[in-house]
Amino acid sequence: MATLGGTSETPVTPPPPIPAPPTAGRAWLALIRVSWQRQARARMMVLIALGLLAFMTFLVAIITPRAWDWRYWRSPPRRGLSYEQWQYPLALARNAVPLDPVTGAVQRAAAGAYQAVLFNPEATRRAGFTRFTDSIVFTMFTTFLLPLWSLSFATEGLGREREDRNLLWLLTRPLSRPAIYLAKYVAILPWALGLNLGGFTLLCLVAGEPGRLALRLYWPAVLWGTLAFCALFHLMGAWFRRAAVVAILYSFFLETVLGNLPAYWKRASLSFYTRCLMFDRAQDLGIQPDKPLLYLPVGGTAAWCVLAGLTVVLLALGALVFARTEYLDLS
Amino acid sequence: MLLFDKVTKWYGPVIGLNQVTLELRPGITGLVGCNGSGKSTLLRLAAGQVRPHLGSVQVCGHEAWSAGAKRHIGYCPELDTFYEEMSGRRFVEVMAQLCGYSCREARRRTAEILELVGMADRAEGRLRGYSKGMRQRIKLAQALLHDPELLLLDEPLSGIDPIGRRESLELFLELARRGKCLLVSSHELEELEKLTDHVAIMARGRIAAVGTLTQIRDLLDNHPLSIRIDCDEARRLAGALLGLEDVAGVEFPDGDHTLLVRARNPRRFFQELTGLVLEEDFDVRHLETLDDSTHAILGYLLGKRTT
């Protein structure tokens, strides 16, 4: 056998017959392993995601000492006295102005009830949890961080292969295109789940008691939200050449706008169902939308079914798109 | 092994391939044509990277687009991007694993193939630091490692040094001897001629001609073959040649000892010339056909001189 660069005295024989035939299953697992390893090379979007995580962690760490304990909340917000401070002027007023016994008794009862509630550990815990849920979990995490962190890995799965024009090497291997698509999705998940669940865990732990309670209740919603978002952004990676840009536009405009529209429009957004799962898990603690009649949340089972069903449907659609698309930009 | 059946491929309003029918059997076939003639489209269709709008492309009985066909195809694209962070060895090994081989088998095959393409001692460095020739060899290695029946090689000699070229050509010839089917697209016609005389010539999305160079040359009735003959009695030989039915004209480009003959039906002409020389005892010192190269044939077929 002729060799390239080899010496003519020591010819190299061609590979002998294959001892064990190659299998598609082994190739599929190898693709998952290689794709997972290649995802480790953080790129711009992942760096941004990590930067946001660091910033949010810092922010939560800064506000935690006072934000979740309602004794420090102010009325009017930001510039008024704290709830704890309000009991002193009330007491001063009660002592300064002589009242008739009945009125004084009522006033003392009211002040006592105020103090009882203010210093009740269970009520304090619930109030802190409610505020943490509203300000961090719903406003920041579900609406903003969850889609953004998901897209940072999910659009890179196929999008990066396309951008670097390496997808060709995968398409020349004896693997069906749907199998390649699914392998890429599976390879994304450890990273995306790691970032989303890990990031959520970190934020919750930094927030103290309300965060620990939120973590215990909300992690399934984060898990299912991540699966659905990744399936959506993975589909975008197969469909669009600049998938990251499309996914960012989708996250900022459609998810945010749709998620805040009244009535049924918001049901077109994935974060709506993620929130509904959270409402369902925390309903015993009084967590519900500000205006339930306007928000029209769905039940926990329905939300779970929609997220799981959408994940499957989006994956099937993506596999179909990927199987039928000719990637002419590869060469 | 590779069958194109009335294949048409469009890129929007532009036709890439037009009603192409082609069947390749084991051996080496050169794919030649100008830029934009459809060579790359044909190779991409054969490699299952694009699908035909009309007709079908089959590789060993499988649709080229299917995963089943990929087991039989080794594709060495012109594309020059890799997983740049990997070493050459790691890249080939990953490609072997993606073919479904076990890790041990992938390592074994990688080692053998790297030896085969002359990269065994240089495969540890990162791909981003490789020269064009080294990258070309790695591309070749990944195409060969699953021992495919059909090899699609797009400009495989591009960037390789002269020694490497010779070794590549020897390797391709050896693969053809082992019954592989090689379709080699190249602009380097001289190198291609060393490899094979079986070519498919493409022009404007069609196969303009396919066959051996001699067969194709014989079909070019409008372009009689030019033959240079050095002979002491050139004028007497010219007179005798003009009596032959297939001789279209005779010239004396370099004095009285050199003859330029234009002849149709080259096979019959050479038979008659041989008889004439023996009968009349002409002292022919040199005989050379001037325009039966791939280069000249391509020029005639495309209606212009190629460069």
Using H for helix, E for strand and C for coil, what is the string for B144-193? HCCCCCEEEEECCCCCCCHHHHHHHHHHHHHHHHCCCEEEEECCCHHHHH
The four Cα atoms B8, B12, B16, B17 give a dihedral, to 10 degrees, of: 10
User: What confidence tens digit (pLDDT) does each residue in B255-279 have?
Assistant: 778 888 888 777 788 888 888 888 8
User: What confidence tens digit (pLDDT) does each residue in A1-59 have?
Assistant: 455 554 445 555 665 555 678 888 999 999 999 999 988 776 777 888 889 999 999 99
Name residues whose C-beta falls within 8 Å of residue B190's C-beta, 6 or more positions apart in sequence: B295
Confidence (pTM)? 0.81
Search chain A and give the residue with CA nearest B49: A326
User: Residue A328 CB: number of other CB atoms within 10 A?
Assistant: 10
CA of B295 vs chain A CAs: smallest distance (Å): 27
pLDDT at B307: 38
User: What confidence tens digit (pLDDT) does each residue in B121-154 have?
Assistant: 888 999 999 988 889 999 999 999 999 999 999 9
The Cα–Cα gap between A291 and A274 comes to 17
The Cα–Cα gap between A221 and A198 comes to 14
Task: Name the β-bridge partners of B5.
Answer: B56
ipTM for this model: 0.78
pLDDT at A12: 59
| Contact list, A173 vs chain B (CB under 8 Å) | 70, 95, 98-99
pLDDT at A19: 61
Q: Which of B24, B14, B12, B19 is nearest to B176 (CA)?
A: B24
Q: Which amino acid is located at A144 in the chain?
A: F
Is residue B201 less than 8 Å (CB to CB) from chain A?
no
Question: Using an 8 Å Cβ cutoff, are A212 and A204 in contact?
Answer: yes
A162-165: list long-range contacts, CB under 8 Å, 24+ apart: A162/A237, A162/A241, A162/A327, A162/A329, A162/A330, A163/A241, A164/B81, A165/A329, A165/A330, A165/A331, A165/B79, A165/B81
Question: Using an 8 Å Cβ cutoff, are B50 and A328 in contact?
Answer: yes
Strands (DSSP E) contained in A151-292 are none
Give the H or E element holding residue A245: helix A243-249
Contact criterion met (CB < 8 Å) for B49 and A22: no
Tokens of B25: 């059997």
User: What confidence tens digit (pLDDT) does each residue in A177-194 have?
Assistant: 999 999 999 999 999 999
The Cα–Cα gap between B208 and B20 comes to 10
Sign of the alpha-carbon dihedral angle for A166, A172, A175, A178: positive
The Cα–Cα gap between B13 and A318 comes to 27
pLDDT at A8: 47
Contact criterion met (CB < 8 Å) for B100 and A25: yes
The Cα–Cα gap between B250 and B238 comes to 7
Q: CA A6, A8, A14: angle at the middle one, nearest 5?
A: 65
The Cα–Cα gap between B294 and B195 comes to 12
Query: What rounded mean pLDDT belongs to chain A?
Result: 84
Is residue B30 less than 8 Å (CB to CB) from chain A?
no
Question: Using an 8 Å Cβ cutoff, are A153 and A191 in contact?
Answer: yes
Contact criterion met (CB < 8 Å) for B98 and A2: no
Chain centre distance of CA A68: 22
First to last CA, chain A: 32
pLDDT at A6: 46
pLDDT at B305: 45
Which of B9, B87, B99, B154 to probe by mutation at the A interface, max A CB count within 10 Å?
B99
- Considering only CB atoms, B101 lies closest to which of A22, A171, A326, namely A22
**What is the Rg, in whole angstroms, of the alpha carbon atoms belonging to chain B?**
23
Contact criterion met (CB < 8 Å) for B171 and A2: yes
Q: Which of A153, A303, A150 is nearest to A220 (CA)?
A: A303
Which of A3, A4, A39, A177 to probe by mutation at the B interface, max B CB count within 10 Å?
A4
Task: Name the β-bridge partners of A7.
Answer: none
> Which parts of chain B sit beneath pLDDT 50?
305-307
> Which parts of chain A sit beneath pLDDT 70?
1-19, 42, 67, 70-71, 98, 293-294, 330-331
The Cα–Cα gap between B273 and B282 comes to 10
